[in-house]
Structure formats: C-alpha cells, structure tokens
Amino acid sequence: MTAQLLTFYLFSGVILISSLMVISTKNPVHSVLFLILSFLNAAGLFVILHAEFLAMILIIVYVGAVAVLFLFVVMMLDFKTSINKDNILQYIPIGILIGVVFIAELIIVLINTKFDLSNIQVLPNPLSDFTGKSNTEAIGSVLYTDYILYFQLSGVILLVAMIGSIVLTLRERVGVKRQVVSEQLQRQGKIDLVDVKSGKGVDI
Amino acid sequence: MISLAQTYFIEVMTIILYCLLIFVPLLLGVVMALYADRKIWAAVQKRRGPNVVGPYGLFQVPADGLKFIFKEIILPDGSDKTVFLIAPIITLALSITAWAVVPVQAGVVLANINVGILYIFAISSLGVYGILMAGWSSNSKYPFFGALRSAAQMVSYEVSIGFVIITVLLCVGSLNLTEIVMAQKTMWFFIPLFPMFIVFFISALAETNRPPFDLPEAESELVAGYQTEYSGMPFVLFLFGEYINILLMCAMTTILFLGGWLPPIDIYPLNAVPGFVWFLLKVIFVFYLFAMVKAFVPRYRYDQLMRLGWKVFLPLSLFAVVATSSILFFFNLAPGM
C-alpha cells in the first residue's frame, strides 16, 4: 500500500510541477515538452488505478500522435521574436475567474452528493459484471454493445473533421509534373533489357 | 520506515537484477548486431569488412565504443544544452524500456502484462521524441530537417504497424505477448497473414529509420540528419538506441509472425532445444533480412516513402483488418466467440 501511495504522490507531484512549467516557461517548445511529461505521468496514474488499457491508449494517441504534431508546429514557429511576457498580468483576472468557476463546480458536486458517490444513478442501465475480465475486454464488451451509437457517432464526427480539414487545405496546382506509378509500371515496349556484349556496345 | 525498507529491499534488488539480466545481453546483442551488419554489408559488396581488431575483427565495435567514450562531447554554441543532452538519453532509455515485456521463452519475461503489445506500441511511438528533441535543440538546419523528416516518417508508418498488429490480435484474442506466441502453436501467423508479414517487415524498416528508408540520415542530402551535431558519448547513446530498436522490431516480427520461442515442428529433437535458442535464431534470421535489405535496396525518395506509407500500406492493412475479421466471423474461427 505504501509503495502505491508513494508512486501516486510521485506521479501527481510531477504532473502538478510540469503543468505549472507548461504555462511558466518562456520557450514554447519547452512548454510542449512539459505538457508531454504531464501526459505521461497521467498515464502512470491510470496504471495505478489498474486501467492499463486507458494508460496505453493515452500514451499512443495523445503522446505518440497528437503531441508530436503539436511539437511539430511549435518547433517551426520563430518564437524568439514572438515572446512577449510584459502583458502577462492582463490574463490574470480571467485566469482567476476560470479557476473560481471550476472550484465552485467541484464544491457543488461534492456537497450535493454528501461525499457518497455510490448511490448516484449515472447510467440508465447498471453495468454488467466485469469480474474475471481484463479491463481491455471489459471496455470492449460495453463499448461495442451498450454504447455503440455514441462510439459510431464520435467516429463519424472525426471522419467529418478529417475530410473537412483536407478540403480546406487542398489546392490544385497547375503545371506540376507528378509521378504516376501505375502508368510507369504499365509502360510497354519503351524499355528493353539488353545483354551488352563486352567491347561491342549497343545501338540506340 | 525500517519495515518498509525490509519489505521492499529484496523486491527492488530482484527487479534490479532482472533488469541487468535484460540489459547486459542486450548490449552484447547490439555489439554483435553492429558487427554482423557491417560484415554482411561487406560480404554483399565483396569486401572483407572489419577484420583487423581481434579475431575476425570481432573487437572492432568495442574498440569503436572506447574511442567514442574518450572523445570530447561538443556542445554547439546556441544549442539548447539541456534538451540537447536529454534527447539521446531518452532515445536509449525508451528503447531499453520496451524490452521489459518481451518474452524470450515460456514464462521467461520481466513483466508479463496484459497489454504487452500496446505497451511496446506506445513505447516505440515515444521514440520519435528523442529524434525531434535532438533535431530542434541542435539549432542547425540539417538536424532540424532530419528531425522533421524522421517524425513524419515514423508517425506515418506507425499507423500501418498498428493495423497489422490488430489483424494479429484478431487471430489471438489477447494483448498479452505470451498468449500471442502460444496462439501460434498450430500454425505460425506468417502463413495465413503473409501479406501483413511483408507490410510489417517493411514498416519496421521505416519505423527504425533503416535503409532504404534512412532519409533522416541521408548523408548525400542532410550530412547525418538529426545526429549531425552529436559527438562522443551522446552519439553512442543514439547509435545504441537505434540498434536496440532494430533488435526490438526483429523480436516483434518473431513474436507476431514467426511463433516466438516455438520450434518449427513440435517433434522430439526440435522441441528438446530450449525455447530461447529458437527465439534467438529467429531474431538473428530477421536481423539478417534487415541487413540484406540495407545492402540491396537503394534509398527511397521522400515523396515515394510517403506514398508507400499512406497510399499503399494504409489501405492494404485497413482492408486486411476488415477481411480478417470477416473471415474469422463467418467461419466461426474468432477466439472467444
């Protein structure tokens, strides 16, 4: 138990510190790297909760794909000219406002349930029994049955977003020669394989 | 506090011992892989390869390592020094970390976790950070372009590797690496899933920046890519990380398609051989293929590389996922159904 507690404090401590560093470092690339560090430690927290599937998916999707693209974009910015920390004070009021709203919401939720989260009816149907199943199996067994509509819907939204971004950025450029591999492979009679005799050469 | 130390001391010590049991053979494997790579390449080109230091040139790689250790570490002026030094450490550490879940024999594995294959996939998708950080922090044009190329390449080929892994998982019904191997008792997966075996092999080449996909380090265009500014020990860390990743991909090919530690036929003289010998033989065979590809195939052009990843492998592997699951469903072959 103690080891679990220690690892929990380690992971959450690193999350807090690195999240602070995300907003306080001057260099945007360092900010993204700290963001990645906090993602990784959040995955560690999932592992402590025995949600290893979620942890791995968090790393694969957020750290392995989303944050890479993030870093990609930030790396190419010319940040040396764009840093302006003088007007940092002007963001403090709205930051405090958002923080207060979050804390108020948390307090309202905790007071309403009187710290007893067991009797909240979140789901229309109680979940089936998951004992003896690994959590990958458990997630799969509800995701593709009870929640198939939501799952499909989010898939469609992602597809629409993907097609939309392609349509927005696609532009036809005229006068560009492109390599069409299928045409190259279908070329007949234009290429001969010639066994060149030594000292004779070939006729062209 | 004393009881805490007593409870965990032995446990921690055993874990450290196990880690050393993985780490030391792995380093030895990297040294031999570097040597084999150079020897095979030389043999294809009718050269001798390293043959001066030690018998058959066997000590060439340790000698090179020693040379690198004693070289000065040059930190480029204007580089981001912290990130510059962290990048190679991250590359090496991640590549070693992935080996924690690789089973070399039935039950012989440091961490037999339920999501083993996802773990390896996650760790190898993190590998791109070492390269990106190195390229950016060098504050130089060649490393930066090398890093951009490498990141785009690794992210692209990860997609098709993911789908290939899914086709295998459909036939197994578990994410555990040991169970993936045990599911191949009757037939190794490279027979029914042969096209996916090829896709995985080529994607593994691209994922580890091996020739013919070594564009991030294409010396005719980018000097040495993201490693250009590195010297001495950090360079060795990159080199070792890269080769450990290559060995990991060989081990993954072995586990997913070539039946891991299982003998080719389950009859007496073959199944009396210990499992890790078979595992090692198969890894060496796949590495031999990697080395031969390096010697035979000319380097791809960058747009061809991207075309292969997105327009050939992605549709192919996506189709394979649908086809495999349909066949398994209609013939009632799917595990757990």
pLDDT at B191 over 80: yes
**Alpha-helix residue ranges (DSSP H) falling in chain B:** 2-44, 60-70, 81-97, 116-137, 141-172, 177-182, 194-207, 219-222, 232-257, 268-271, 275-296, 302-307, 314-330
A21 touches chain B (CB under 8 A): no
A57 interface with B at CB cutoff 8 Å: yes
- DSSP H/E element including A80: helix A79-82
**CA–CA separation, A92 vs B14, rounded Å?**
50
How far apart are the C-alpha atoms of B251 and B103, rounded to whole Å?
A: 9
Residues of B in contact with A52 (CB under 8 A): 113-115
pLDDT of residue A129: 67
**Which among B8, B115, B151 has CB closest to A56?**
B115
CB contact under 8 A, A59 and B113: no
Average pLDDT, chain B: 86
Q: Which of A50, A56, A136 best tests the B interface by mutation, with the highest count of B CBs <10 A?
A: A56
Q: Does A59 touch chain B (CB under 8 A)?
A: yes
Contact of B123 with A43, CB cutoff 8 Å: no
- The CA-based angle B51-B57-B62, given to 5 degrees, is 140
CB of A142 less than 8 A from some CB of B: no
State how far the Cα of B276 lies from the Cα of B299, in Å rounded to an integer.
34
CA pair distance A138, A193, nearest whole angstrom: 60
Nearest residue of B to residue A39, measured between CA atoms:
B126
Which pLDDT score, from 0 to 100, does residue A168 have?
92
Checking if the pLDDT of B183 tops 60, the result is yes
Chain A: closest CA distance from residue B49 (Å): 30
Mean pLDDT of the B36-44 span? 90
- The reported pLDDT for the residue numbered A83 is 56
Smallest CA–CA distance, residue A132 to chain B, in Å, is: 13
Q: What is the ipTM of this complex?
A: 0.80
pTM: 0.84
Q: State the pLDDT at residue B225.
A: 76
Closest CA to B88 of B247, B248, B246, B241: B241
CA geometry: angle B102, B103, B105, nearest 5 deg? 155
- Tell me what the pLDDT averaged over chain A comes to: 81
Confirm or reject contact between A30 and chain B (CB < 8 A): yes
What's CA B170's distance to the chain center, in Å? Answer: 23
Contacts (Cβ under 8 Å, ≥6 apart) of B289: B201
pLDDT for B336: 63
Find chain B residues with C-beta within 8 A of A27's C-beta. Answer: 80
Instruction: Work out the number of other CB atoms within 10 angstroms of the CB of residue B304.
Output: 14
Rounded to an integer, the average pLDDT of B186-215 is: 87
Nearest to B151 among A30, A60, A72 (CB): A72
Q: What is the pLDDT of residue A70?
A: 84
- Whether the per-residue pLDDT at B168 is higher than 80: the answer is yes
Per-residue pLDDT of chain A (204 residues; tens, 9 = 90+): 677 788 889 999 999 999 988 888 878 888 888 999 999 999 988 888 888 888 888 898 888 888 888 888 888 876 665 555 566 677 788 889 999 999 998 888 777 665 555 555 555 555 666 667 777 878 888 888 888 899 999 999 999 999 999 999 888 888 888 888 888 778 776 667 778 888 777 776
Does the beta-carbon distance from A64 to B8 stay under 8 Å?
no
Structure tokens at B233: 């020990």
Confidence of residue B201 (pLDDT cuts 50, 70, 90): very high
Question: CB pairs below 8 Å between A and B: how many?
Answer: 65
